[in-house]
Structure 1
């Protein structure tokens, strides 16, 4: 009878020993191949100071952005003639230059793109794009931004200028204020408002956390014993990423994502603290300006480039679309154009979820169809040429 416990102990020791050996072999394999979770350093900004590019932040002491003269526009405005770069830790698509970056420039009027005259040339159709960093095209060369591509696609018998007034950090109210006080002097014939979903809720609600890759764990560094063990690093990293995902799921289950109309109709203190009331008022004002100044205006909804296979913001798209209908504002939802694609395919970099050159091309093609068939069909002929 005494042999049974002995056999049980041996079996247990064999199991434990096997597990230990397996862990040792796994650790050794990871050590030999130096295989750890993929991590990156954050993107780096630099600005041209007249002699060379120097490391900076997004403002660069006025060399990239300067304070706005308009009350409430806290994100400033681009400095005319600014020249700056953003550089990444790697070059996953081979798109970046030899320093894994992209150079961006601002013309003398404060717009991204080539120099243009303030006075509109005779016979030229002028389209002004309003938006934030998605519209500006952070991380993408000027020639690949959707507004520059759109200009090329619309070009034909009649000269067309597409002006990029996208500005990092701007919300819809900022766009309305600068349109009214700055850009109307450019006499646009068409104004395109590119609506990004963080104009519904406040940026503090953590979407920026997901868009810079932090929510995917790209900056998570090993702690404790995981700093000395590749295997423990993988276990710790996987556990922390799962926690981040649980936080994201919990975050997106809140009422202003799942039922935005009921949330904002409630007029509670929580809804009043969101960006949407100011954004809606700004859109209404832009429609008024279009009637007063004689330009056509349309709005395009730019989706979050995340979880496209199980998109958590469909209710917000519907809400914005319905509100634009109430305001008499033609609207175009870009989400269907991204269906079937993975979010990683469309990011500038794992640490920067701005749309890359592939996404910009998709948007340009979609906006061309919106302009030709819905917003200003009278300005374009059916054969794809510009009407005289």
Structure 2
């Protein structure tokens, strides 16, 4: 009579069942995050970065195989002697520990820790996936059972990745012929019918009201916060409290936008009669904008497989790319990639053009440094030099943000938290008090 080993008690079944359900939530994170890292290496990494990432993937796959072999569900090379032979029940607390590490380590150690936590989590998931199908004890039935197990593992991977894909931001994006994507009206995020955050504005402000236009991406948008806690709203409120008059903000921040798309946003919002412009630029690489139109159309119902790959690319637009971050520290080993060099030139030309068009309107422009340690220092230096060349104000809060305790950034180490938005608004308020808006 076939047996199923010692893990057949009711308690063990509850533990392993809960473990399997939890992995359905964590599996897409590991899958999509690591896939995105490989997907974008062509735009960010310099040799030998791709080789190092490939080696990491090879180690991951070998570990994945070892996990299957360890549970004796599939035929794979045996793990080394030092590899711990944990039963399923012993992996549960480790799974929870790694999950907690993935969630709580971001403010302390950042995405590098998250990346390696994903690797470890993937090993735990690989051993779990083997437990979804019966153990093949008979040689005559081994191959069919193992093949069915592989198919089941692949099906679970795609199914859960699709489920996670549907939890991302596609609900607030719509296709746009010029910018690739734009925001659709969304009450939850406070996006109005014109596609920007905040109340819908008339072409001309009320008498005595001056408008401030804020350009940027998800940090300007106020990612993770209500609209009234974003620095655009807070800056207008601060100036009003200071007695400088009545002010109204135009929040032109669009999540995922690079500088080329920010320039398009400026062209669309300039008709709302702003009296000054604030631009936070410098995070998203220009090459990422090339994917947006294809992503948006895929997300609007082109098919589940297209949405899956569009979703993995979308994560690359809304989260820092691990390979891109690591490659910044690998430049000593190789030259800059052609795509990254092209991005810098596109960025420089676009910034010069944006400055010229805003100056042509006779509007004061304030450039704000992206206060995140994930920003390429060379990009920040390029913006600072451009601001100095045009005698534009340059507000750099990076030292304050980097040394703040408690932190001024969210757990992703990219987007300002509520305290960070207050700090940005306070700096802008001080600037406009010293340099009144006409």
Q: What range is the shorter-chain TM-score in?
A: 0.5 to 0.7
* Unaligned runs of at least 5 residues, structure 2: 1-83, 104-159, 291-312
SS at match of 2:284: helix
The answer as to 2:151 corresponding to 1:58 is: no
Map Cα deviations across residues 26-85 of structure 1 (whole Å, 9 max, x no partner): x9999789862234599x999xxxxxxxx654233xxx2222242xx22x1112x323xx
Report 1:43-192 matches (<5 A): 57-60=168-171, 64-70=172-178, 73-74=179-180, 76-79=181-184, 81-83=185-187, 103-156=188-241, 157=243, 158-180=245-267, 182-192=268-278
* Structure 1 gaps, min length 5: 1-22, 47-54, 84-102, 216-243, 307-311, 380-386
Distance 1:323-1:34 versus aligned 2 partners, 3 A rule? closer
Q: How far has the Cα of 1:213 moved from its partner?
A: 7.8
Do the aligned partners of residues 341 and 271 (structure 1) sit closer, same or farther apart at CA in structure 2, a change above 3 Å counting? same
RMSD value over aligned CA atoms?
Answer: 4.2
What is the alpha-carbon distance in structure 1 between the residues aligned to residue 403 and residue 289 of structure 2?
27
Greater share of helix: 2
Q: CA deviation at 1:313?
A: 4.1
- Determine the C-alpha separation between the residues in 1 that align with 2:220 and 2:359: 24
Distance change >3 Å, CA 108–CA 214, structure 1 → 2:
closer
Match of 1:330 in 2: 393
Supply the distance in 2 between the matched residues of 1:34 and 1:290 (Cα, whole angstroms): 53
Matched residue, 1:273: 342
Count of residue correspondences: 273
Secondary structure of 1:119's aligned partner: coil
Q: Which moved more, 1:133-142 or 1:331-340?
A: 331-340
C-alpha distance in structure 2 between counterparts of 1:34 and 1:174, whole Å: 41
Change (3 A) 1:123 1:202: same
Q: Is the 1:284–1:327 contact (alpha carbons within 8 Å) kept by the matching residues of 2?
A: no
For 1:317 and 1:201, locate their aligned partners in 2 and report how far apart those are by CA, in whole Å. 18
TM-score (norm 1): 0.58
Kindly provide the CA deviation profile for residues 89-142 of structure 1, in whole angstroms up to 9, marking residues without a partner as x.
Answer: xxxxxxxxxxxxxx4111233221123222222221110000011111111111
SS in 1 for 2:220: helix
**2:434 is aligned with 1:365:** no
Q: 1:45 to 1:31 in 2, by over 3 A?
A: closer
Distance 1:28 1:202 in 2: 43
Structure 2 residue 354 is the aligned partner of structure 1 residue 286: yes
